[in-house]
Amino acid sequence: MRQRSDTGSTAKRTRGLGGASSGVDLTVLAVPSYFAAIGAEALWQRRRRAAGGGPTAGEYEWRDTLASLTMGNLSLLAPLIVPRLVRPLAPGRGRFGKALVGVALTAAVVTTAADIVRRRTSVGPTAVPGAARAGTTHVTESDWVGPEGTRPAARRARTVAAVGGVVAIAAGGLAITTTWARLTSAQRLWASRRLPSLGSGPLPLALAVVGWDLIYYWNHRFMHESRYMWALHEVHHSSERYNLSTALRQPVAEALGTTLPYGVLCLAGMSPELVATARGINLIYQFWIHTEAIDRIGGAEEMLNSPSHHRVHHGSNRQYLDRNHGGIFIIWDRLFGTFAREEEPVVYGLTSNIDTFNPAGIASHEYVRMARDVAGADGWAERISHVVRAPGWSEQHRRSPRDAVAVLSAS
């Protein structure tokens, strides 16, 4: 069974889209309101319990809340620090860009060579482990077999492939993500637009809000359907609680992802400032839906995202997995087949919870697991699958039986 996630709301600082400043960030201005709302919700939970209410996953637990607030603060700092760290590595712009590509290509070549050596020197599972017989002149395949069922040369080749595969994937992935960010910045797309500016009135803003939310839907859905994106987004789903502090539990490694650029709205005449404002409205809206204090919002739920719809999104129940990806509007989920209503009680968190409140562990958990899977892969198809396929693919792959074909070499 796959794990779960969401790109929920948070007070995230953006320096515009694509790294450039684009005026006041609404989500930063809203930070005092976030904390005031968290305090009000905590007080409501306390009074509810005092009135005889039973325990719920919406209540605050100090270690969980501290972890969420810490991740929220780190997500504010990350856009100020991470781009500066990775900018020198960006191919085509950074001074170490060519070196990064060179490392990726070299590691890929070495890994491929190690794969070939391992396959040619491995002994199949039908061979019987044994030790070379003293005094014999003929060495059989079983004499070469080590404790792991392969010849020493194959074991060394597997070690080289394990290290090389991880290096190639990591360096190549960083080269791709930094290049993608550079090519799809809002300023770059705004400068290359063919349509005139729509201005900054209410109608252009409304179009930007709707357009931003549609792009958000697909990016959010992609984060649930491709593991390397889930690795950064899992942070938001890692809490087994569901309250307003959960909205602030956000990833710090967004520079390692690739998304459909919100800057494409600039090609339609929406300025980077207008798009940034639409983003702020979207994320501020999403903050309040992370609560159990509100049940339903009536007929508005047919069009708008709501606490009920978003509780479904955070559920690890089988029927709730990968549902309700919209930000402001739930109509995208209805249109594209990912909508589910809240029916049975929601179990929050991941299908396999990480059981830690350590921010470093929360941020790195899935990256560590993904690196281990890549290191243990048998070839490039499997390595790439561990990275780009659905989050649950690796677990299913490990459980599936492998064909054991003996590869015996003549001595």
CA distance 400 to 171: 30
CA distance 123 to 103: 31
Specify if 242 maps to a domain.
Answer: yes
- pLDDT tens for the chain, 411 residues long, are 444 444 443 334 334 333 334 467 888 889 999 999 999 999 999 999 999 988 999 999 999 999 999 999 999 888 888 888 888 998 988 899 999 999 999 999 999 999 999 998 876 544 444 444 444 444 444 444 444 455 788 899 999 999 999 999 999 999 999 999 989 999 999 999 999 999 989 999 999 999 999 999 999 999 999 999 999 999 999 999 999 999 999 999 888 899 999 999 999 999 999 999 999 999 999 999 999 999 999 999 999 999 999 999 999 999 999 999 999 999 999 999 999 999 999 999 999 999 999 999 999 999 999 999 999 999 999 999 999 999 999 988 888 745 333 333 333
In 260-316, DSSP assigns E strands to none
The SS3 call for residue 304 is strand
pLDDT at 23: 61
At residue 116, what is the residue type? Answer: I
CA distance 261 to 259: 6
Specify if 333 maps to a domain.
Answer: yes
CA distance 240 to 233: 15
Domain extent at residue 53: 26-94+199-370
Q: Are 325 and 219 in contact (CB under 8 A)?
A: no
Token look-up 């899935």 returns 366
HSE-CB at 362 with a 13 A cutoff on CA atoms is 28
pLDDT at 195: 93
Residues 6+ apart with CB under 8 A from 46: none
Specify if 74 maps to a domain.
Answer: yes
CA distance 409 to 257: 44
Phi, psi of 348 (to 5 degrees): -85, 160
Specify if 353 maps to a domain.
Answer: yes
Specify if 62 maps to a domain.
Answer: yes
CA distance 16 to 185: 9
pTM of the model: 0.85
pLDDT at 408: 30
Query: 348 forms bridges with which residues in the sheet?
Result: 315
Structurally, the chain folds into a number of domains equal to 1
Q: Are 208 and 277 in contact (CB under 8 A)?
A: yes
Q: Are 142 and 130 in contact (CB under 8 A)?
A: yes
Q: Are 265 and 208 in contact (CB under 8 A)?
A: yes
Residues 6+ apart with CB under 8 A from 177: 255, 256, 257, 258
Specify if 41 maps to a domain.
Answer: yes
Q: Which residues of 253-280 are buried (b: 16+ CB within 10 A; e: fewer)?
A: bbbbbbbebbbbbbebbbbbbbbbbbbb
HSE-CB at 59 with a 13 A cutoff on CA atoms is 11
Specify if 337 maps to a domain.
Answer: yes
Q: Are 260 and 219 in contact (CB under 8 A)?
A: yes
Specify if 123 maps to a domain.
Answer: no
- Closest Cα to residue 67, out of 315, 289, 229, 245? 245
Q: How far is CA 108 from CA 100, 170, 381, in A?
A: 12, 11, 13
Token look-up 């984060």 returns 223
Alpha helices per DSSP H over 3-96? 26-29, 31-50, 62-86
CA distance 374 to 169: 8
